[in-house]
Amino acid sequence: MRVFLTGATGFVGSHILTELLAAGHQVIGNSRSGAGALHLERAGAAVHRGDLSDPAELAKGAESADAVIHTAFDHDFACYAENCEKDRRVIEAIGDVLAGSDRPLLITSAIGVGSTGPGQFAREDVLDRDHPMPRIASELAGLAVRERGVSVGVVRLSQIHDPVKQGLVSPLIDLARTKGASAYVGEGGNRWSAASVEDAARLYVLALEQHEPGTCWHAVAEEAIPMRAIAEAIGRGLGVPVHAIAESEAGKHFGWMAPFASFDMPGSSAVTRERLGWVPAGPTLLENLSRMDYSVAKG
C-alpha cells in the first residue's frame, strides 16, 4: 500500500516508518521541517510538508494514499486539552479527504478512555465517551468521520518506551531531577500499562494490514505497573530518595502532572493479541528505565 504517515519523524512514527518500509509498503511521510524531510527522503519515503496547526494542508498528504496512519501529536502535556482539540481538527480534516472511500484511517488514542470504571482494566471493546481524559476528543472525532463514510480504526497507546523516552514517565524523570526526589501519590498503588516502542510500531502495521473498520487495538505489553515501582526505578537511576506524597499535596509537587500521577490506567490487550497475532517481545518499562543514561539532562 501507499501509506500517508503523519508524525513520521516522531518517536513512534519513525519506528512505524521503518516497519512499513521493511514490509514493502510505500510511505508518504509528513514532516514540518526541512531536516525531517531530508531524513524521510534518506529513509526511502516520499515527503509531504505539513503542520498540525494547519489541518487542511496536512490532510492533503492523504489525497494520493491508499491508507493513512495518524500518529502526529503535540506532546506538550502542559497544554494537553488544547492539543487534543488540535488532534480532533486534524482527524476531521483527514476525514474530509477520505470520506466515501474504503481507504483505512488509523488514528491514535490513549488507553484510559477504554476503562469501564475505577480500578478496571481498559478493554478494546469499551469507549467511555464521557471520560475526563482530554484524549477522548480523538476517538470522538474518529466516530464522527466514520459516520461520514471513513473506514476508521484506533490504536490506543499505553506508556510507550525505549531507553531514552517513556511517555509520561519522561516528565516524571525530569521532575524528580529538578526536585531532588522521586515521588508517588499515596501508597503508589495506581497502575500504568506500557509497551516498547518497537512493539507498538509493529502493532500499527498489523492493524493496517488486517484492517477492520470500527476496531480498536491496545498497545499494551505490560498491563499494570504500580506507580511506586516506577518512582523507585527513577530514584535508583537518578540516585535520589523516593517518597510518598499525600493526595492533597500532589498539585504542589507534580504541578500539571498531578492528575496523571494519580490516574489508575491499567489496560488489557487480550483481544489485540488474539485477533492480530501481536506478540510483544521488547524489554519492559523497568528494564528500559534501568538502561537509561540519567546523566544526560532532559528538557
Q: What percent of the chain has pLDDT over 90?
A: 89
pLDDT, tens digit, for every residue of 26-79?
Answer: 999 999 889 999 999 999 999 999 999 999 999 999 999 999 999 999 988 778
DSSP symbol at 133: S
Which among 110, 112, 100 has a CA at the least distance from the CA of 148?
100
Task: Please compute the mean of the pLDDT values over residues 264-273 and round it to a whole number.
Answer: 96
- Residue pair 121/192 in contact (Cβ under 8 Å)? The answer is no
Task: Please compute the mean of the pLDDT values over residues 245-262 and round it to a whole number.
Answer: 93
CA angle 281, 126, 188 (to 5 degrees): 65
The set of residues, in sequence order, having a beta carbon less than 8 Å from that of 216 and lying 6+ positions away, is 109, 114, 124, 125, 127, 153, 154, 155, 156
pLDDT, tens digit, for every residue of 97-136?
Answer: 999 899 999 999 999 899 988 889 999 999 988 888 899 9
- pLDDT for position 298: 55
pLDDT, tens digit, for every residue of 64-96?
Answer: 999 999 999 998 877 889 999 999 999 999 999
